[in-house]
Every structure is written in structure tokens, then in C-alpha cells.
């Protein structure tokens, strides 16, 4: 049963008229307002600090309420894609590309605005699904389990491949959220 506790919000810079968004997020409870009182090392907080130093207060605009988490994730992704991040020529300070990833470009390949954001948000959803699967199975799961049980197996040229789930498990290991059980092909969530 889905619960509709989620909302999508924008943080806006009141120094322009109309106020321009500089961050899009999803949340529950006080999440949208927490950014204003919890300093961190993000571009988002640097902008918040800049606005406050200039004598203004960032605006918190709840865009849509009464959403399921899936609806909120989708709307958040669409809005981030539409506005774009600073890294891709857009206006948002959102950091959807994990540090150390992406950034390589080839002059002959055009990357449409918003494509990187959509890909990284999709990757985050897949990572969450695999992490939930590992947490639900404390004895561990294999890469094949993740690929087949979550519908991530490819059928490239008639051969089943599990490269996507293997890559995502690798990312989760690098992030310190999953470990490979020594001398096995099993992976477990780090609790």
C-alpha cells in the first residue's frame, strides 16, 4: 500500500524577480526546510549562505504534495532534467553525478541537456533497489540474483549478460554500502 507522504520542492533565490530555483528535491516532513539550518559542503549550501550573507532568505516552495515516493522521484527527476544542473549548463546546484564519475566527453558526441541527470537519477534508483535486496537477504545475494530478480539482465545478441547489476554492485562496494563475502560470489549490505 503506497503512502502519499512525499512532496517535491524548490529552493529559490529571492534576489531575482521572479525568484529563480537553484535546487529541486523531494522529501517528507521538514526536509525542504532542513537545508536552511544544516550546513554542508554542497554547492546548494554555498548558494544558501551567499543569499543569507546578501541579507535575504532563500524561499522554500513546495511544488506538489500528497505524492507516493515513486511519484516524487519521477517528478524530481523531470524537473532536474528540465532545469539542468550548473555542470550541464543549467541553473540547479543539485549534485546528481557522483564525484569521480562522468566528466569525460568526446567532441563528436552530443549529450542533450538533462540526459546526465536522468541517467544518474535512474542509477540512484537501481542502486537503492539492489541495496534493499541485499538488506532483505542477510546471507548475501549474487550478481545473478540481482540481475534476474530485479529484471536487470540483458539479452544482448541472444546471450544473457549481468553487466549492469555487476557494475552497480561495484559502485555500492566503492561507496562502502555493500561488501563481497570473501571466497564466494555473494554480496551483503553493510549495516
Domains of the chain plus CATH, in order, are 6-88 (3.40.1440), 115-189 (1.10.10.10)
Mean pLDDT of 27-34: 93
User: For position 97, what pLDDT does the model report?
Assistant: 45
Each residue of 42-56: pLDDT tens digit?
A: 999 999 999 999 999
Q: Is the pLDDT of residue 90 over 50?
A: yes
Q: To the nearest whole percent, how much of the chain has pLDDT over 90?
A: 46
User: For position 111, what pLDDT does the model report?
Assistant: 75
**Residue 149 pLDDT class (50, 70, 90 cuts):** very high
Mean pLDDT of 115-127: 80
Q: What is the CA radius of gyration of the chain?
A: 19
Judged by phi (left if over 0) then psi (alpha if -120 to 50, else beta), residue 129 lies in alpha
For the whole model, what pTM was predicted?
0.57
User: For position 55, what pLDDT does the model report?
Assistant: 96
Q: Is the pLDDT of residue 1 over 70?
A: no
Judged by DSSP in three states, 87 sits in: helix
Cβ atoms 35, 48 nearer than 8 A:
yes
Mean pLDDT of 126-150: 92
Cβ atoms 130, 172 nearer than 8 A:
yes
The residue that leads in pLDDT, 180 or 4, is: 180
Torsion over CA: 151, 153, 154, 155 (sign): negative
Amino acid at each position: 500500500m503506497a503512502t502519499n507522504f512525499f512532496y517535491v520542492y524548490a529552493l529559490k533565490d529571492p534576489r531575482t524577480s521572479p525568484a529563480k530555483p537553484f535546487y529541486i528535491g523531494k522529501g517528507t516532513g521538514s526536509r525542504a526546510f532542513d537545508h536552511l539550518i544544516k550546513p554542508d559542503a554542497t554547492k546548494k549550501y554555498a548558494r544558501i549562505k551567499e543569499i543569507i550573507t546578501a541579507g535575504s532568505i532563500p524561499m522554500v516552495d513546495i511544488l506538489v504534495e500528497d505524492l507516493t515516493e515513486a511519484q516524487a522521484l519521477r517528478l524530481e527527476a523531470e524537473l532536474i532534467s528540465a532545469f539542468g544542473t550548473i555542470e550541464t549548463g543549467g541553473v540547479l546546484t543539485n549534485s546528481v553525478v557522483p564525484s569521480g564519475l562522468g566528466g569525460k566527453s568526446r567532441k563528436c558526441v552530443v549529450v542533450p541537456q538533462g540526459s546526465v541527470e536522468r541517467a544518474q537519477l535512474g542509477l540512484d534508483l537501481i542502486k537503492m533497489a539492489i541495496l534493499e535486496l541485499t538488506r532483505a537477504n542477510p546471507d548475501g545475494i549474487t550478481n545473478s540474483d540481482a540481475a534476474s530478480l530485479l529484471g536487470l539482465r540483458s539479452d544482448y545478441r541472444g546471450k544473457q549478460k549481468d553487466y549492469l547489476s555487476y557494475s552497480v554492485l561495484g559502485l555500492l562496494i566503492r561507496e562502502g554500502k555493500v561488501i563481497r563475502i570473501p571466497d564466494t560470489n555473494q554480496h551483503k549490505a553493510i549495516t
